[in-house]
Amino acid sequence: MRSLPVLLSSLFLALTATAQGQCSSLCDRDLPSVAPTLPLERASFCFQRPEPVRLLKLNDIVRVKVLESARMNAEGNIDRRKQYQLQAQLIDWAKFDKGNLVTNPNSTGDPTINGIYQEQGQAGSNLNTAEGLTFMIVARIVDIRPNGHLVVEAHSTVQNNDEICDQSLSGIVPPDRVDPKGEVRSEDIAELMIKKQERGQVRDGYRRGWMYWLLDKYGMF
């Protein structure tokens, strides 16, 4: 039989002990000693995982969006005036007499020249042009420079019945300018060279003839 002190101590421990029951609190959970870092994708409702960086290699294909515009304003005015005045008189005449050079007076008088030449010209010009190119073209990586920059070239020919449109493009693209979709804008291309040529009946209808080309080139009139 246990002694009275042992029974009293056992009763005290039973009364002071905390009962372990089921808890319905969402905040009551065992937490680690060190709180983990909360990732952004779990903390933000509008998080979107970025697309992986595309590794570009030789002969890969990129799409170039050409948006080029050019404007030029030129205005000129020329006013030119010239005036010349000439007065000349021949006083002494000479002749050979028996191998010697002697004077030969003119019995009718010394001839004279007197004249005035005037020239006046005025010219004016005004030029205002605007051009633009907007199209998409697929280019191929033909070289990769030691610094990682990409050399691209593109060629395209579209034919619709008798109408033909030739397009070509070349330049150097920094790799960080190519988006994950493989597209790049023409304004991000260094040493950009774009050529666009049209052939066919439409082009023949509005292009200059060879006579107008000569007149415009050499300014005959």
pLDDT at residue 41 greater than cutoff 80: no
Report if residue 120 sits inside a domain: yes
Q: Which two tokens stand for residue 211?
A: 């006579």
CA distance 46 to 26: 25
Range of the domain at 92: 77-126
Note the pLDDT of residue 140.
94
CA dihedral angle for residue 201, residue 207, residue 212, residue 217, rounded to 10 degrees = -140
113 and 70 in a single domain? The answer is no
68 and 163 in a single domain? The answer is yes
Which range scores top for mean pLDDT: 26-40, 45-59, 166-180? 166-180
Contact 64, 189 (CB under 8 A): yes
pLDDT at residue 88 greater than cutoff 70: yes
Note the pLDDT of residue 131.
66
User: What is the residue type of 113?
Assistant: I
pLDDT at residue 16 greater than cutoff 60: no
Note the pLDDT of residue 72.
64
Note the pLDDT of residue 145.
93
Note the pLDDT of residue 144.
93
Q: Give residue-wise pLDDT tens across range 103-132.
A: 777 766 677 778 887 777 676 767 666 667
Report if residue 34 sits inside a domain: no
Report if residue 86 sits inside a domain: yes
CA distance 86 to 115: 5
> Between these two residues, 152 and 212, which has the higher pLDDT value?
152
Q: Give residue-wise pLDDT tens across range 139-174.
A: 999 999 999 999 999 999 988 888 888 989 999 999
CA distance 167 to 159: 12
Note the pLDDT of residue 95.
72
Note the pLDDT of residue 5.
63
Which range scores top for mean pLDDT: 29-33, 183-187, 198-202, 204-208? 183-187
Report if residue 47 sits inside a domain: no
Backbone angles phi, psi at 186, to 5 degrees: -65, -30
CA distance 16 to 143: 82
Which range scores top for mean pLDDT: 5-19, 23-37, 63-77? 63-77
Distance of CA 214 to the CA centre of its chain: 32
192 and 117 in a single domain? The answer is no
Helices (H), the chain: 4-16, 40-43, 201-206, 210-218
116 and 165 in a single domain? The answer is no
Report if residue 209 sits inside a domain: yes
Q: How many domains does the chain have?
A: 2
